[in-house]
Chain A
Amino acid sequence: MSAILDIRNLSIELATDNGPVRVLDRFNLQLAEGEIHTLVGESGSGKSLLAKAILGFINPRWKITADRLWWRHYDLLALNASQRRIVTGRDMAMIFQDPSTYLDPNDKVGAQLRESIPVGDLSGIYLKRRADRQTRAERLLHRVGIKDTDDVMERYPHELSEGLAQKISIAMAIAHNPKLLIADEPTTAMEPNTRGQIYRLLAKLSGSQGMSILMITQDLTAVIPESQRISLIYCGQLMETGPTEEVMQKPYHPYTDAMLSMSLFNQETAPKTRLPTLSGAIPTLQHMPIGCRLGPRCPYARSACIHEPGLTKRGQVEFACFFPLREEDDHE
């Protein structure tokens, strides 16, 4: 498996008034071409930051360090801002959590959509290019399931519902057929039936055009069947990563296990029993536990957990825990 996106030991530190806070701690991720990879983590676990770091939304208050942050054959950290923008602009796209803030409030939707269609895809004289742009924009809107294209293109962003704005930002994201699409909770603002529609569209793009998709989501119920691999992240640390099936069926890591038992699907809970949860609450950014950050909440924690566990590899699965739930694969 050759990874087109290769991240090794990526850390992000935020400079706050009380000194630096490490929101992403030595994170690892490999993504193959045409693969759908789901990243699961609670809010504040640093998953959106990871996405922004890949795309190069550099904020001067962030300090990004990594052993490797490679996209195909580009070392993203070694590129300067404008080179990086050319690479990310050509190859990557992102669908954001709060889509309406990512649209220019003073520009019509149609104009912004047309703008995101790359010039190189068009040919001919000016008028033909313009007409082409228009038809391509309409086709994009059709693909994300907007039928009344003329009306929507004449609107300003403040006249859109969140769901509609999300569809438009998806249309803008796939306008230039990116190689990597990062979808940050793309369907939170949508009704369930459109949600399915969007997932099918994304799966189709990945299958037919070899688009890699990094899907970011809050809980395991939202992991779609097309997703080949899955990573769980807690407080900026990678907990477990591996093929979706294997991780979901037979987790090594206590956190994965807890997440699975917390989710409401495929579960036979007797009526009026308490839902299983991890004790305690997510620590604040300033008060991260040392060692394994799950430590204080982990039911299996021992004194060794104040040291940070490295990644252990078992077959296809990697996890960061000294005391995995099961031992060497018991090929039953």
Chain B
Amino acid sequence: MIRYSLRRLTLLLVTLWLLTVFLFALNYFFPGDALTNMTGVRSADALHYQRLVAERNFDGSIFAQYLAFLSHFMTGDWGQSLTTQRDVFNELLPLFGATLELSLLAMILALVIGAPLGLYAAGQQRGTMDRVIMGVSLSAYSIPVFWLAQLFILFFAVKLGWTPISGQINPLFDIEVRSGAIIADILLSDSSYKSAALADAINHLWLPVIVLAIMPATMLMRITRNSMLDVLQQNFIRAARARGLSEARILLRHALPNAMQPVVRQLGLMFSVLMSNIIVTEVIFNWPGIGGWLVKSIYERDYPVMQGGLFAIAAIILLVNVAVELFHAWRYPQVRKELYAEH
């Protein structure tokens, strides 16, 4: 396990390093001056610009430039925004918190809905409820997330008026931004309207969370059902039955752990899908997160911001994927054998 973990972590580090190389290269691909793209300082600001040329080794070779870029990048100097002139890294942190809150809640909701429904469908194999659940999940999986968001807004916010159309919280609640995750911020704040603010935040939150949770939930349902049916066909389950073990014991001790194995393996993929959807969803719901920020920076050709957003999203996806893989290998030891076994 230690050897496996080290291999995975090395791969993660190499990938993150490749990502920085890619970001560095992007500065030259983007239209305009590479140094401006990197730092957000225009050459019109001559004094500042000259200082940066020296700081970032822009007189030196491309290799020296990269080393300077890397050292600045590692210390959190991600440049400043071309439009607002604000420091990218500091601006990014609360946005990151907001995105993380949304994605975590959606992921939890997806797990809570998806896995039990999948198991239930497996229990009703080829029955009416199985067909209904599988049909609904395939249909829901096919709905483009932006259309789903629009339909939900049209129905729940416009027609029924149950929830605000967009935003994170009513700006009247003056909540100090610390982590960006609104619920955490409210709980941390010393506002006198804590419960009212919390209710308002949840009122804003539930619709985007549901929109985001639907796609991963449908994926979970299908994977859980199929793997459960697969496991129940396996010889060791039949042997356990023949040995006279109780059905409950077979399900809990042998079928379920094995059925969850493909589910765990796919969690990383589900998170990737979720992050891809979150970009669009944040734009629609005007959510102050990384995704909306990234899209806005593309409109405005704000290259330092774009790099920051890109790195943040890619890094969190990679981290989650590696974490899922490590957990999977730790929980299901026979996977490690497959990974070592070379033909």
Contact = CB atoms under 8 A, between A and B. Distances in A.
Establish whether A and B are touching in the complex (CB under 8 Å): yes
A26 to B, nearest CB: 25
Contacts of B234: 101
A199 B311 CA distance: 65
B243 A116 contact: yes
A107 B235 contact: no
Contacts of B128: none
B242 A92 contact: yes
A115 interface: yes
Contact of A158 (B244, B257, B261, B334): B334
Interface string B94-134: 00000000000000000000000000000000000000000
A245 interface: no
A289 interface: no
Contact of B236 (A57, A93, A102): A102
Contacts of B245: 89, 115
Contacts of B247: 82
A86 interface: yes
Contacts of A157: 334
Interface string B234-262: 11101111111101000001100110010
Interface string A156-174: 1111000000000000100
Contacts of A207: none
A56 interface: yes
B244 A101 contact: no
A96 interface: yes
Interface string B313-342: 000000000000000000111100100000
A104 B235 contact: no
A301 B33 CA distance: 94
Interface string B203-232: 000000000000000000000000000000
A101 B334 CA distance: 13
A89 B242 contact: yes
A20 interface: no
A199 to B, nearest CB: 22
Interface string A58-98: 00000000000000000000000010011011101110101
A284 interface: no
B244 A106 contact: no
Nearest to A103: B236
Nearest to A54: B242
Contacts of B334: 105-106, 156-158
Contacts of A88: 242, 244
Contacts of A158: 333-334, 337
B236 to A, nearest CB: 5
A82 B245 CA distance: 10
Interface in A283-312: none
Contact of B242 (A94, A106, A115, A156): A94
Interface in A98-114: 98, 101-107
B243 A86 contact: no
Contacts of A55: 242
Nearest to B258: A106
Interface in A134-168: 156-159
Contacts of A90: 244
A89 B235 contact: no
Contact of A101 (B236, B257, B258): B236
Contacts of A159: 337
Nearest to A88: B242
Nearest to A175: B243
Contacts of B241: 57, 85
Nearest to B242: A55
Contacts of A92: 242
B235 A102 contact: yes
Among the interface residues B243, B331, B332, B333, which one has the most CB atoms of the partner chain A within 10 A?
B243
A297 B247 CA distance: 47
Contacts of A102: 235-236, 239
Nearest to B260: A106
B244 A104 contact: no
Nearest to B238: A57
Contacts of B243: 89, 93, 116, 172, 176
Contact of B244 (A85, A94, A98, A105): A85
B258 A57 contact: no
Contact of B254 (A93, A104, A116): A104
B239 to A, nearest CB: 4
Among the interface residues A56, A88, A158, A159, which one has the most CB atoms of the partner chain B within 10 A?
A158
A170 to B, nearest CB: 13
B242 A56 contact: yes
Nearest to A56: B242
B184 to A, nearest CB: 36
Contacts of A57: 238, 241-242
A156 B234 CA distance: 17
A158 B340 CA distance: 13
Nearest to A90: B244
A163 to B, nearest CB: 18
Nearest to B244: A89
B329 to A, nearest CB: 12
State the 4 A-B residue pairs at the shortest beta-carbon distance, nearest first. Answer: A89-B244, A158-B334, A102-B239, A101-B235
5 contacts: A85-B244, A88-B242, A106-B333, A156-B333, A172-B243
Interface of A: 55-57, 82, 85-86, 88-90, 92-94, 96, 98, 101-107, 115-116, 156-159, 172, 176
Given A88-B242, A104-B240, 7 more contacts: A57-B242, A86-B244, A92-B242, A106-B258, A107-B254, A156-B334, A158-B334
